[in-house]
Each structure stands twice: as C-alpha cells, then as structure tokens.
Amino acid sequence: MAKIGLLSDSHGRTQTTLRAVDLLLDQGIDVLLHLGDVGSVEVVDALAVEGVTDRPVDSRLVFGNTDWDIPAMSQYAQTLGIAVDHPAGRIELDGKRLAFCHGHVEADMEDALRDGVDYLCHGHTHRCSDERRGQTRVINPGALFRASRYTVAVLDTQTDEVAVHEVPTAG
C-alpha cells in the first residue's frame, strides 16, 4: 500500500509549505511529491523529510514555470536526499504507474496520457481537481499560494482514493 502526498505551487511560502508537509506526514504518506513552483531554497528545505518520521518517506520534486536557477536548486535538493525528476517524473507503486509534472508544458501531460499511466499528478492551475481522461486519473492538489484556500491531497494507490486536505493558515 502506498500513500502519496501531493502539494504544489508553494511560490516560496516556506511556513505554509511546512504546515502542508506536516499535515501530509500526519496522514502516513510514503511518498511526498512537490509538483512545481517551489520558489525558494527554504521550501526545498521543508521537503527534506528524511529522518523526520519513524518510517522512510521518499521526497521528490519537479520545478515549475516560475522556478529559477533549476540546476543549482536541483543540486541543492539532491544534497538533502530529495529526488529531482524535472521536468517530469514517473514512479510505479502497488502495480500502478504514476506520472507527475508541473503542468505548464502540455507535451509532458500529453505524453503521460498517451502512455496510459494510471495517475497523472500536476499543479500549475492553482485549482484542486480530480478527473478522468480516458483510463488516466488526473489529479491537481491545488496550491499553497494564490488560491481561495490552500490545499494538498493524499492519493492511496491501493484503494484508488484521493483525500483533499485544507492547510491551516498561520495564526
């Protein structure tokens, strides 16, 4: 069984990202995927969850259209044990194929759909969504910036359930 924590569009908002990561870890995730528009090295730091829980959590990311100096940020993330799959990644869990990208490059999205992956996870739109396109379930967890409410999602690949969680605001 694999639970995948999905978050996107932090845009450098470190405290919001820290709250989002804590929320996802509390849900018992096995994999943490940041779907782009990271925005700062401090947000990358927030994704470094190795050793934070009593079980291993695989932390991965792709970058988005507003991210800068991707080679340097990639190298920094990797020194923290975060896998960088930019511009798009693929993993297999519970016999299900999952593709992920930021969503601003249509070719990345179309490649995954054409390959018939089970799940395609992306950010970019700042809108939470969960829909089917052919045999592929397309999931956007929402955003941690410039959204009416900040949301993340947990995908359970064994039960095929997606749970959306609102990230609390500071204060």
Average pLDDT score, the chain: 94
Structure token digits, residue 11: 């845009």
pLDDT of residue 142: 97
Place of tokens 């990639």: 74
Element (H, E) at 171: none
Encoded amino acid at 137, one letter: R
Backbone angles phi, psi at 137, to 5 degrees: -90, 120
Query: What pLDDT digit, counting tens, does each position of 81-119 carry?
Result: 999 999 999 999 989 999 999 999 999 999 999 999 999
162, pLDDT greater than 90:
yes
Structure token digits, residue 136: 């592929």
Count CB atoms within 10 A of the CB of residue 90: 15
Structure token digits, residue 103: 């969503």
